[in-house]
Structure 1
Amino acid sequence: MASSRTPAIMILGTGSNVGKSLVVAGLCRLFADRGLRVRPFKPQNMSNNAAATMGGEIGRAQALQARAARIAAHVDMNPVLLKPESEAGSQIILQGRVAGHLPSGDFARRGDFLPRVLESFERLAAQADLVVVEGAGSPAETNLRARDIANLGFARAAGVPAILVGDIDRGGVIASLVGTHAVLDEADRGMIRAFAVNRFRGEVALFADGVETIRRATGWPCLGVVPWFAQASHLPAEDGLDLRSTPARPGAELKIAVPVLPGIANFDDLDPLKLEPAIDLVLLRPGQALPGDTGLVILPGSKTTLRDLAALRAQGWDGDILAHRRRGGHVLGLCGGYQMLGRVVRDPHGLEGPPGEAPGLGLLDVETELDRAKTVRETDFVHGASQRAGRAYEIHLGRTDGPDRVRAPFSVDGRGEGAASPDGRVVGSYLHGVFASDPVRAAFLEPIAGSWLSGGMSYEEAVEATLDELAAHLERHLDIEAILALARQRPAPG
């Protein structure tokens, strides 16, 4: 099948966080289970939650969508990834590789990426029976339309029809759908062929008049009203704003506290922990103190280590963590969090902000210097204390070294990875995803909890089951045959 005619459909949203990513993931699983070769695609993503794939890095949401489609993730699934470094701009990841820095106000340059975006899309389409495309933000941001590659700019350039999704849970769904129709020009409006309403709570029939109001005002047919999918919390979050503490678990055997810093990155490390019934996961927001009964503090990854280290101190969390350590508590630093645990962090080239350095928390006898070489890879690893194995990934700048490296908690290719304090209560590592391995998670956490984690579960099985449930949920509430029919009716590009 010629790639230019491969069926494709684009899922747009009336705004950010309306559920586009999960709708695409559910459709990928649904169509894959029908025997179709499905490929997810997002032209441009802005997120510090990245996944390492063969060839580089992409947004974590696209990695989940690839998993839903039962295929390996590939850099072509998210050709432009913008990783915010500060309010001033973002690091550019172009087809998996670092390609410079984009100032926040440089909207015009984004249009320069369109040829590479279309190149990636065509390669994917050539291997597929169906491509499911995810938009970014909202197509109603007409001030950005001239150089848009993320929404209708891409849809028109590639000739991909779109479905507009609104989120009723946040309120104003009629206005957001009808308003989007109103502000679009005629050519853009024509690319949207239908709408759907997401995250409905209650009796769907009660919204029949609302559906009719939208249909009359826009001329678009409704493909369905999708009820709230509570199990969505079992899947990896795309945005740091989606991170939530677990509901109170009075019988939990271990409380884990995680300071949520401005540049938090690759926080999928927390996903297995939030599903573990024996764990009470507390995400600390600004103004909150570290709970006194915390057993383990995790400092997660960071896209801006020096800035986040300053934010940690500004919140007083450094004092809380040091007091926790003096009481015999455990601390784990991952990637940027690992760097913060050392004696000093240096950024002489200004790779994550202005050049500079700052003292770390001093809980590990190591030092870090950021350099221009970026490590991006998937790898097998072994947990040294238990000799249990798993699969992880690395995405980081910098080299960390010092005496505490002799007690590396993990090994990769027979070489030690990470560092640990002499008493083993403070551990750091560049590996992401180690807790996705059930045996490694149990072996690492049980000594801290002081007992067997009685609520043990299979994380990978939980994710797979949730993707299956999501696909079935969408099949019950969306007109799937109409979606397929629209995907086969691709207009000419341009």
Structure 2
Amino acid sequence: MASRNSANVLVLGTSSLVGKTLVTLAICRWLSSQGKAVTPFKPMSMSSGHGSYRTASGGEIHVHQAHQAIAANLDPHVDMNPLMFKTVGDKLEIIVWGAPSPGLSEIPVSNRCTSLRAVITKCHRRLADRFDHIIMEGCGSPVELNIKERDLSNCWVAETFDARCVLVGSAEQTGVFASIIGTLALLTERERSRVVGFIINKFHGDPGGFADGVRILEERTGIPCLGVIPFLSGITMVGQESGAAPAPEIIASSEAFAREMDRCAEHIIKHLNLRLLAERVLAGSPSMSLAEPEPMSARAVQ
């Protein structure tokens, strides 16, 4: 489907709040800092009433995808987040390609899924015509077994767009072994074969002290660790802390926001194995430079 032979990468998480959003943002920022044509893509997002961003064309997407687009030096666009399930009070609003679609709630679930998958596919195709790298972000866990047949954001996305997957787990609380090994065990063999590496995020302490943990996980799963990322405190944009995001109207113009975005991206990239990332995750994509990128803060946010 990707007419430019785009490299499709899907960042999966063992659950919500493990840091998929910031990992996706950091990879977009890193590739953009090397002059690569890269875009974020989150097929389906979940949002509270205050988690949306209005694009220049007036369409509504999740604020996190706006952050990721800006990290890639792009203007946010509705193709980057075709579906958003938005809660407003006790009501659910379904945003399709930037606009509310109130009639969808009356359509049977199976028919609704077919229609929404068609929207996702069209948006991805348009992005694939423009970009060499599409860094996709999953939603929640890929192994919610009771709703896998209606998946719009995880394993169906990987299969449809022939994506290589990275699995992110959080070490902020106990259970990272169970979450990573358990998630992989619940995937089918075909789904599991797409997962080419895992990332331990939100690690408290010296990552070097987790060497035995990395070894155990690699032995149990048969896939390599792409990095152990220490917890980064004081983040007010996305991911690690539950504070409110910056007001959408100041995101693109705020120097403070740009500095924080660079701080997050540089912190994550610093603790990733860039060679493994390029070889296992981005293999087959347009030629990658494995040299250390220039400081991301040296590049202006457009």
TM range (shorter): 0.7 to 0.9
Question: 1:95 maps to which residue?
Answer: 97
Unaligned segments of structure 2, at least 5 residues: 286-302
Equivalent residues of 2:197, 2:225 under 8 A apart: yes
Question: What is residue 305 of structure 1 aligned with on the other side?
Answer: none
Seen in structure 2, the aligned counterparts of structure 1 residues 170 and 4 have a Cα distance that, compared at 3 Å, is farther
Asked if structure 2 preserves the Cα contact closer than 8 Å seen for 1:164 and 1:196, the reply is yes
1:142 Cα deviation from its structure 2 partner: 1.6
Work out the percentage of aligned pairs sharing the same amino acid.
35
Q: CA deviation at 1:133?
A: 0.6
The answer as to 2:272 corresponding to 1:478 is yes
Question: Match for residue 201 of structure 1?
Answer: 204
Superposed CA offset, 1:250-273 (max 9, x none): xxxxxxxxxxxxxxxxx54xx37x
> What code does the residue aligned with 2:78 have?
V
CA contact (8 A) 2:169 2:180 kept: yes
* Per-residue deviation, residues 210-262 of structure 1 (Å, max 9, x unmatched): 112211221111101011112423x2x479x812xxxxxxxxxxxxxxxxxxx
Provide the residue aligned with 2:224 in structure 1: 221
**2:8 touches 2:134 (CA, 8 Å); kept in 1?**
yes
Deviation for aligned residue 1:107: 5.4
Q: TM-score, normalised on structure 2?
A: 0.85
Q: Distance in 1 between matches of 2:226 and 2:127?
A: 26
- Give the superposition deviation at 1:8: 2.0
Report the RMSD for the aligned CA atoms in angstroms. 2.6
Distance across 1 between alignment mates of 2:205 and 2:5:
40
Using CA pairs under 8 Å that are at least 6 residues apart, name the structure with larger relative contact order, 1 or 2.
2
1:173 — aligned with what? Answer: 176
Give the count of matched residue pairs.
Answer: 279
For residues 464 and 159 of structure 1, do their structure 2 counterparts lie closer, same or farther at Cα, with a shift above 3 Å needed?
same
Supply the AA of the counterpart residue of 2:224: P
Q: 1:466 is matched with which residue: 232, 256, 260?
A: 260
Mapping 1:61-76, distance limit 5 Å: 61-76=64-79
Which of 50, 53, 57 matches 1:51?
A: 53
> TM-score if structure 1 supplies the norm length?
0.53
Change (3 A) 1:196 1:141: same
- The residue aligned with 1:128 is 131
Cα offset, 1:479, TM superposition: 1.6
Q: Structure 1 residue 97: deviation in Å?
A: 1.4
CA distance in 1, matches of 2:278, 2:17: 24
Are the aligned partners of 2:27 and 2:265 in contact in 1 as well (CA < 8 Å)? yes
Does the Cα contact within 8 Å between 2:17 and 2:239 map onto a contact in 1?
A: no
Partners of 1:178 and 1:214 within 8 A in 2: yes
SS of the residue corresponding to residue 232 of structure 1 reads coil
The CA distance in 2 between the partners of 1:97 and 1:216, in whole Å, is 47
The alpha carbon displacement at 1:483 in A equals 2.3
Q: How far did residue 14 of structure 1 move?
A: 0.4
How far does the alpha carbon of each residue in 1:440-466 deviate from its partner, in whole angstroms, 9 at most, with x for none? xxxxxxxxxxxxxxxxxxx81111111
Could you tell me whether the CA contact under 8 Å between 2:229 and 2:268 is conserved in 1? Answer: yes
CA distance in 2, matches of 1:139, 1:164: 10
Distance in 2 (alpha carbons) for counterparts of 1:202 and 1:157 = 39
What does residue 422 of structure 1 align with?
none
The more displaced of 40-49 and 201-210 is 201-210
Q: What is aligned with 2:294? A: none
Q: Secondary structure at the match of 1:51?
A: strand
CA 2–146 in structure 1, closer or farther in 2 if over 3 Å, else same: closer
Gaps of 5+ in 1: 244-266, 273-431, 438-458
Quick check: 1:13–1:137 contact (8 Å CA) kept in 2?
A: yes
Once the two structures are superposed, residues 430-487 of structure 1 have per-residue CA deviations (whole angstroms, 9 ceiling, x without a partner) of: xx74xx49xxxxxxxxxxxxxxxxxxxxx81111111222222122111223223323
Matched, 1:488 2:274: no
